[in-house]
Amino acid sequence: MALDTSVPNQKVTIKAGTVLFPEGSAANSLNVLHSGALRYLVEAPGGRKLELFKISGANLTPGASALFGSGRYPFTIVAEQDCVLSTYVMSQSTVGRSLAARSSLGIMVGRSLLREITESFKRVNQLRKIASDMGKTNDNLSLLYYQFNPSVFPDIKPGQPIADPSSEIVDPVLRLARENLKHYFDNGGILPERPTANYVEEDHSQLLVKYYPEEIEFQDGEFNFVRKVILADPNLLAQLFAPDPSMVSYVCDKLGRVQNNITENAKSILEELDENFSLLLGGVESLTEKYFLILDMAANGYATAPPEFVVPILQVVSQKIERALAGHQAIFGSAIPSPSPNIKSFLEKTAGLAKKFEASNPTAKAASNGSGISVDGSADATAIRKELANSASSIIQFSGMGGDAIKEFSAMMVKLKSLKNPLDSDNDTRKLRRSITKTYFDIYAACFQKYVNSGKNVPKPVDLMLKYGFFDETMLDDSQLVFMSTFKDAITSVSDIPIHYGTEWLEKIYKRECPTSLDELGQNFFDKVKMDNRNAVFKKESDLPPDIDNPEARLKFEFGAMYEANVRLTTGSLATYLPILTKYHSQIPLGKAYVTKKMLTDTIHDIMAVDFSVFNREVIYNNPEMGINKEFVQRAIVPDFVIVPSIGSKIMMWQELSIHRGSGSKESRGRIVLPIFVQGDLKSLLIDAFAAFRWELCKTILGPEWNNVGNPSITADYMDYVQFYKKNKDLSIEIKEKLAAEFKRFRNERDIFANDYQLWIKYEAEGVQRLNRVVRGIFYRHIPFARTIREKVSKMPAFGEINNRFVNIRTRKFTELENRYKKYINALGSLPDPLRENMEFYRV
């Protein structure tokens, strides 16, 4: 039974579970909570209830917003605990006068409303993100439904106009799919040839003409002002409101209207959520049922797409279903009403089909070595070798090479194949390999150009060359041919690490989605053009005419500047370098040497779990609208990782920035290049590359100050240590003698640093002491461990003092930022993300 508020000026005790004010009931009182806790609920479609938030404490005025809106409660308020409440008869017409007469009461109402607004805003933004994620998932699944079951859409052809969905289509999934396909194809979208789990997570909003906001839009300068006013000292407010008592009622009226708007927003989002839940899980016309049919076809061998594509997508759908079921329970406290009848069967059959698929590919599982690599173990090596017969000839013919060049190159290849070992390091063999290499890359470049122009439709030998460096099937073992012919990319979730295979990277350069790289002389594309056209006056890149600056020219530059160079350098052995893959290159199976995107992502995350700031740099953040001008903030900018078709034991830190001059240069990504077949421990090789990245980035950012100990940095402090270790009082004579011998092993200070960085990441992070106290102190200051590791090692004597020093420095910095950022706190009591993340970086 609801609270009776008709009794004037009453003070009552409310038992836990009592409904004080039902949603939609008339508001005829102002209520003051003295003690206890309350729950605020809103009604969702289908009669479900959603808890918006809870509040507890004293001097709160629950539901006061109803007096400043429609006059009816926009939510249901329930006693979470036993509560003591006072009620005062009041209405929309009298509340303004009442608050003006007692400013202290008005201040209480205003602050209570602000608290409700803050809690509502948090909850509504949670719902907004869930609704957006589900909407994106449903849209992407509707596109893939067409790809996996095109017979349901006989009139739809990619590249051809699609009519608006007929009003006669009542199936919500089919209507959604047609609407999305129309926009997707009209805006130039191309469905993936090989659908992966990534596609379900990707944002295709621009192609679909949709918007997936993760927060509700809230831009209200007046509210921001009122918020600051009501949070001022009550004594000052009393003096402020004394000359004009109506001010306090205006403040409360504004806050009440804001709270009512947020509540209405919540109800709108709940309707969207209900629609999304229904599309995915509701009834016989849901995405679950549509994909259950695809599951049946896949299980019975009638699927239109290969099982290696269908099964991973079905697993993703299964995960989405489980997550949605759990999400509905968490949001509404109940199971979804009228669910799809085959949800349980879908989950069970998908799990069974996935196991069956894995079991039918035992070689794939064995070869994966934990990397998710899939190889067809039943493949017939003889059939594959037959399919790839005369690959070298097919590749050469496809490239369009001239007749004389073909004869010359073929003669060199015959000579190379006649050698006992084509990787011998004698002078004659090295000269032969150099000649072959030059022509090989001319062929590769010509084939890639045709690969792009033909929409990636090329003969299989050409495809294998572009991916792996394959050229001649007679120079490879059966197991190697089987791997390259049957390997399927691992299905991975969306990664926060930008990783590109070689062909993907070249395609990005061709489409101008990324700036060109530097060459081995440190020149970019524009520098090279100026060198080649010294008589022309080009002041900036935009001055270049189309006949000089075009996709083909950029691709040619990138190929010679970065790609070809790194195929060579990543081998780690220039004396035996040959870009054509042979059986002599590796003694381990290619499946165990292959680097998948998932394997690389996981390894990078492993290192970042120790050195969390490895990709951080200080950049300038401006936000004129909030009065933020030139605030220096820490920002993590992960480099691009490019996997080139080579086999070797070296990962190249090619450049620390992709733009070295001008605006945005310090915020540009670096470039790290690695071979597709790694010979060695991937983590160790990456640690070396990350050490080089840290060193070079610090030098570039600091400029001439990189070696100035007056401006502490990792490079300055470490150079000072290397140059003056003999005079360092913190090092014993024995350690100094050991360092003198050890430093001779390395070419330069960066290599010495990289060696110590390996020890820091692998051993010191585990509490195993491998560095001297000077290096440990430098690293702890400039390359701090992640918080969990710091908490562990700080208890050890070797780390105790330097940890205390680190904590003191970071605490002072955090306090300084906290005080400086107070003026930037927005209307809802939060900071812009860059400032908030900067504070988190310095939080100890």
The DSSP secondary-structure symbol of 488 reads B
- What are the structure tokens assigned to 741, written together? 């011998």
Query: According to the model, what pLDDT value does residue 149 have?
Result: 86
Of residues 333 and 654, the one with the higher pLDDT is 654
Higher pLDDT: 436 or 312? It is 436
- Higher-pLDDT residue of 537 and 246 is 246
Residue 488 has pLDDT above 90, yes or no: no
Of 323, 340, 335, the closest CA to residue 279 belongs to 340
Range 436-454 average pLDDT: 93
Cα–Cα distance between 380 and 654 in angstroms, integer? 40
pLDDT at position 725, please? 95
Calculate helix-pair angle for 246-281, 172-186, nearest 10 degrees.
Answer: 100
- 500 confidence band (pLDDT: 50, 70, 90): very high
Query: Tell me, what's the pLDDT at 514?
Result: 92
SS3 522: coil
d(CA 79, CA 101): 30
In angstroms, the CA 404 to CA 422 distance is 24
CB 648 within 8 A of CB 638: no
Class of residue 442 by CB neighbours under 10 A (exposed 0-12, middle 13-18, buried 19+): middle
Tell me which of 753 and 188 has the higher pLDDT.
Answer: 753
Report the C-alpha gap between 723 and 707 in whole angstroms.
11
d(CA 673, CA 694): 15
What local confidence, expressed as pLDDT, does residue 365 receive?
A: 40
Q: Rounded CA gap, 743 and 765, in Å? A: 23
Element (DSSP H or E) covering residue 186: helix 172-186
d(CA 15, CA 370): 57
Identify the three-state secondary structure at position 670.
coil
Q: How far is CA 64 from CA 6, 58, 98, 115, 283, in A?
A: 16, 15, 13, 12, 40
The mean pLDDT value of the chain amounts to: 88
- Report, as an integer, the average pLDDT of 600-617: 95
Tokens encoding 223? 């509210």
- Tell me which of 183-197, 574-588, 677-691 is least confident: 183-197
Query: Which fold, 1-92?
Result: Jelly Rolls (2.60.120)
H or E element, residue 10? strand 10-14
| Strand arrangement, sheet containing 83-89 | 10-14, 83-89, 29-35
Residue 203 pLDDT exceeds 80: no
In the predicted structure, residue 373 carries a pLDDT above the cut 90: no
Bigger pLDDT: 737 vs 5:
737
User: Which amino acid is residue 328, in one-letter code?
Assistant: H
Residue 330, pLDDT above cutoff 90: no
CB atoms within 10 A of CB 170: 9
Contacts of 556 by beta carbon, 8 Å cutoff, 6+ apart: 445
**Is pLDDT above 70 for 640?**
yes
Answer with the residue of higher pLDDT: 367 or 156: 156
Coil vs helix vs strand at 111: helix
Residue 589: strand, helix, or coil: coil
Q: Is this structure's pTM higher than 0.75? A: no
Q: Tell me the two tokens of residue 564.
A: 């070809």
The pLDDT assigned to 372 comes to: 43
For 35, the enclosing helix (H) or strand (E) is: strand 29-35
Angstrom distance (rounded) from CA 812 to CA 228: 27
In sequence order, what are the beta bridge partners of 641?
499, 672
pLDDT digit string, tens, across residues 78-129 = 999 999 999 999 998 899 888 888 888 999 999 999 999 999 998 998 899 8
- Taking phi over 0 as left and psi of -120 to 50 as alpha, with beta for the rest, 84 belongs to beta
Angle at which helix 833-842 crosses helix 797-821, to 10 degrees, equals: 150
Is residue 645 over pLDDT 50? Answer: yes
C-alpha distances (whole Å) from 541 to each of 26, 119, 407, 549, 561 are 67, 51, 41, 9, 18
pLDDT higher than 90, residue 779: yes
At 419, list the tokens. 């050698």
Task: Identify the pLDDT of residue 169.
Answer: 83
pLDDT digits (tens, 9 = 90+) for 428-439: 899 999 999 999
Query: Could you give the C-alpha distances from 110 to 236, 270, 343, 567, 581, in angstroms and in order?
Result: 15, 27, 48, 67, 74
Question: Would strands 628-636 and 640-648 be described as parallel, antiparallel, or unpaired?
Answer: unpaired
Residue 747, pLDDT above cutoff 90 = no
**Which tokens go with 504?**
């993907």
Tell me the CA end-to-end span of the chain in Å, nearest whole number.
Answer: 50
Which amino acid, 57?
G
* C-alpha span between 56 and 34 (Å, rounded): 9
What tens digit of pLDDT does each residue of 227-269 get? 888 888 888 888 888 888 788 889 999 999 999 999 999 999 9
Per residue, what are the HEC states of 808-825? HHHHHHHHHHHHHHHHHC
Give the pLDDT band (50/70/90) at residue 353.
confident
pLDDT at 492: 53
pLDDT of residue 374: 47
* Four-point Cα dihedral 675, 680, 681, 685, nearest 10: -50
In a 10 Å sphere around its CB, with 0-12 CB exposed, 13-18 middle and 19+ buried, how is residue 328 labelled?
A: buried
Sign of the Cα pseudo-torsion (510, 514, 517, 523, in order) = positive
All residues at 6 or more sequence positions from 68 whose CB lies less than 8 Å from its CB, including other chains:
92, 95, 252, 253, 255, 256, 257, 260
Residues 225, 348: Cα–Cα separation, whole Å: 56
DSSP state at residue 511: T
Length of the chain: 844
Q: Are 171 and 286 a contacting pair, CB within 8 Å?
A: no
Amino acid at 617: R
Contacts of residue 830, Cβ cutoff 8 Å, sequence gap at least 6: 836
Q: How many Cβ atoms from other residues are within 10 Å of residue 632's Cβ?
A: 10
d(CA 262, CA 124): 8
Q: How many CB atoms lie within 10 A of CB 763?
A: 13
For 201, counting Cβ atoms within 10 Å of its Cβ (0-12 exposed, 13-18 middle, 19+ buried), the class is: middle
pLDDT tier for residue 193 given thresholds of 50, 70 and 90: low
Strand (E) or helix (H) holding 790: helix 787-793
How many of the other CB atoms lie within 10 Å of CB of 82?
14
> Are the C-beta atoms of 8 and 89 separated by less than 8 Å?
yes
Side-chain half-sphere exposure of 160, counting CA atoms within 13 A = 5
CA pseudo-torsion sign 286, 291, 297, 300: negative
Beta bridge partner(s), residue 671: 640, 655
Q: What are the residue boundaries of the structural domains of the chain, listed by start?
A: 1-92, 371-488, 490-706, 807-842
Helix (H, G, I), strand (E, B) or coil at 584: coil
pLDDT at 629 (0 to 100): 87
User: Which helix or strand (DSSP H or E) is residue 260 part of?
Assistant: helix 246-281
What is the distance between the alpha carbons of residues 75 and 265, in angstroms, rounded to a whole number? 13
| Euclidean distance between CA atoms 770 and 763, whole angstroms | 7
Whole-number pLDDT of residue 198: 65
Q: How far apart are CA 65 and CA 255, in angstroms?
A: 8
Q: Which of the two residues, 308 and 172, has the higher pLDDT score?
A: 172
CA 362, CA 356: separation in Å to the nearest integer?
A: 10
Separation of alpha carbons 776 and 213, rounded Å? 45
* Torsion over CA: 797, 798, 804, 810 (sign): negative
pLDDT above 70 covers a percentage of the chain that reads 95
